[in-house]
Amino acid sequence: MGNSSSKTDNVVGSEVPDSPEKAVLRGKSHSTANISPSITCSSTSSGTNLKTDSKLSRSASGADVTEKYLTQLVPIEKLAVILKEKSVKLGINGIASDVFVTQVFPHYADLGRRLFTFLHLSSRATTTYLGTMAFRQQCERFLGIMDDAKVLECYVKMYAQEDNPDFIDKEGVTRLLHICYTIAMQHSGNGFVCSEINRTFSSVTKSIFFSQDSMSLGYVCRWFEENLMRLVLLIHKYCVHTLSTAYRGLEQGAPSCGIELQTPVLEQRNPFTEKSTRDVDDASSSLMPLSQAWLLAGALPPSYSKPQQVTSPSSSKASAAQIFKEKLSMVPSHWTLLYNSNEHGLGANRFLHHVLGYRGPTLILIHAENDQTYLVAAPGEWKETHLYVGGDGSCVMQLLPKFVILEKKPNILYLNTCVRGYPKGLRAGSDPRKPIISIDEHFEKIDIKGIAHVWGCGDKTSREVQLDIKKWQIKEAERQRTVKLTAADWMDHPDRFLLELGGRQNYNN
């Protein structure tokens, strides 16, 4: 550098609570913010090396004190100004939690409170409120998260235990599932509530926690990433939309109402019930609870749950808000019942008659004994063949009593009723010797992971009669095994006549 010199002015940035528009001060300042930047220049034979040491601090209200930080999102800037004005009326020189919840998330107070707490903890503010600059900084960082795994981690952290933030318990996971379900369902204007929702949520918590009361955040994040990733991404879409548009309603003097979702399937009663019981609100008559269908929509690929297009009758082009609503609608409105063994009869020929020729994704729901429910998902048309088929969306899972994806890969589906020399029936699983699910050619016996289960399509009385007959048969076999017959008894015994009819005239006494 020779005789050249470099002159650098000190730059100090601090939050000015009384002037939210003026977030950065330039030039020399007498601010007491704890920041000491320094630049050291050294000359070498190859050029000049610059070494920068900067000790940054935060304001009490949680704002990062940096040299250059200007908000780029106008909606967040406007929202911060409005919320601060309302907080000042309460004597708070910043943004209060209660103001944020009541103004931005009036219909989802628990979600709003947890989101504000997350932003507050991320800023490491020492005050109970957030400064305007800190609020803008944290909101921009939150909206700027693009990685799905990071999004999932944020929401699992929101519902972690208060006294142990590195772990989450069953109640936390249930609350997370409930807010996802509520956002997807309650905006249709229909008061329908799934009576099996607690049972559906319990199947998830049983799968995650086993016999434990709490699990680490990392484990729960991985479980959701592998099983129910799309459900959590839905809630993030809603929060991003709400934070970006809430200022519009607040400028007009009304609290934010989010977005009106459309879920056409809720405009009627549960469509997953039997036809004969559509007018009866009985959970036992439901082929698939509505909450379970919602859970499947979040676990399976979008090709299974993509709802029908909802277009305005007065316009050929859908608006941006309408497209956003369709993306948030997680409950499929286009699922059609192809085959029901109670209604169409039990047998392979009946199954083939109603299912073959349907050129689209299908779901086979299997109700077994001991309250166990399984599902086989086929991404394409079923075909009779001795080969294992199925695309990338092929899946086998247990729905009850635990929600577990047993296998998810291509070429795990098998259906054969006519090719000789090969096993007949319906199978699912990558190992031909030990399939996860195996149904015989008559569709009467099902073997699940080596445990035999039988489809019982009759009523409770039929099952009781069947058990009584089996008990009588066992007792009769034991009696015949222990009783010794005399020669006189044998002459009149029915087995003697059966042997003679079979052609055996001579026998030993």
Q: What are the tens digits of pLDDT across the range 434-478? A: 899 998 888 878 888 655 444 333 445 655 665 677 677 777 777
Residues 80 and 155 grouped into a single domain: yes
Task: State the CB neighbour count (10 A cutoff) for residue 356.
Answer: 13
Residues 498 and 400 grouped into a single domain: no
Which residue type does 356 have?
L
Residue 262 has pLDDT above 80, yes or no: no
- Sheet-wide strand order for 395-400: 362-368, 372-378, 395-400, 404-408
Q: Are 363 and 296 in contact (CB under 8 A)?
A: yes
In this predicted structure, what is the pLDDT of residue 319? 47
Residues 422 and 492 grouped into a single domain: no
Residues 408 and 476 grouped into a single domain: no
In this predicted structure, what is the pLDDT of residue 474? 76
Q: Which residues, other chains included, contact 100 with Cβ-Cβ below 8 Å and sequence gap of 6+?
A: 83, 112, 116
- Tell me, yes or no, whether 131 lies in a domain: yes
Task: State the CB neighbour count (10 A cutoff) for residue 131.
Answer: 26
- Tell me, yes or no, whether 29 lies in a domain: no
Confidence of residue 51 (pLDDT cuts 50, 70, 90): very low
Residue 189's DSSP bridge partners are none
Confidence of residue 64 (pLDDT cuts 50, 70, 90): low
- Tell me, yes or no, whether 118 lies in a domain: yes
Q: Are 184 and 330 in contact (CB under 8 A)?
A: yes
Residue 45 has pLDDT above 50, yes or no: no
Q: Are 325 and 262 in contact (CB under 8 A)?
A: yes
Model-level pTM?
0.69
The residue among 64 and 25 whose pLDDT is bigger is 64
Domain boundary among 204, 226, 252: 252
Q: How far apart are CA 445 and CA 447, in angstroms?
A: 7
Residues 96 and 217 grouped into a single domain: yes
Residue 73 has pLDDT above 80, yes or no: no
How many folded domains does the chain comprise?
3
Q: How far apart are CA 205 and CA 127, in angstroms?
A: 36
Q: Are 396 and 436 in contact (CB under 8 A)?
A: yes
Residues 420 and 466 grouped into a single domain: no
Q: Which residues, other chains included, contact 492 with Cβ-Cβ below 8 Å and sequence gap of 6+?
A: none
Residues 368 and 496 grouped into a single domain: no
Residues 106 and 227 grouped into a single domain: yes
Strands 413-416 and 385-389: antiparallel
Q: How far apart are CA 145 and CA 151, in angstroms?
A: 7
Instruction: Compute the average pLDDT of residues 474-484.
Output: 70
Strand, coil or helix: what is 161? coil
- Tell me, yes or no, whether 56 lies in a domain: no
CA 163-166-168 angle, to 5 degrees, is 75
Work out the percent of the chain whose per-residue pLDDT is above 90.
35
Structural domain harbouring 410: 341-448
Asked if omega into 401 is within 30° of 0 (cis), the reply is yes
pLDDT per position as a tens digit, 349-388: 888 888 888 888 889 988 887 788 999 999 888 888 989 9
Residues 81 and 207 grouped into a single domain: yes
Residues 408 and 465 grouped into a single domain: no
In this predicted structure, what is the pLDDT of residue 460? 53
Of 53-67, 296-310, 369-383, 491-505, minimum mean pLDDT range: 53-67
Residue 124 has pLDDT above 50, yes or no: yes
Confidence of residue 23 (pLDDT cuts 50, 70, 90): very low
Instruction: Compute the average pLDDT of residues 30-46.
Output: 39
Confidence of residue 72 (pLDDT cuts 50, 70, 90): low
Residues 128 and 79 grouped into a single domain: yes
Strands 395-400 and 385-389: unpaired
Confidence of residue 58 (pLDDT cuts 50, 70, 90): low
Q: Which residues, other chains included, contact 323 with Cβ-Cβ below 8 Å and sequence gap of 6+?
A: none
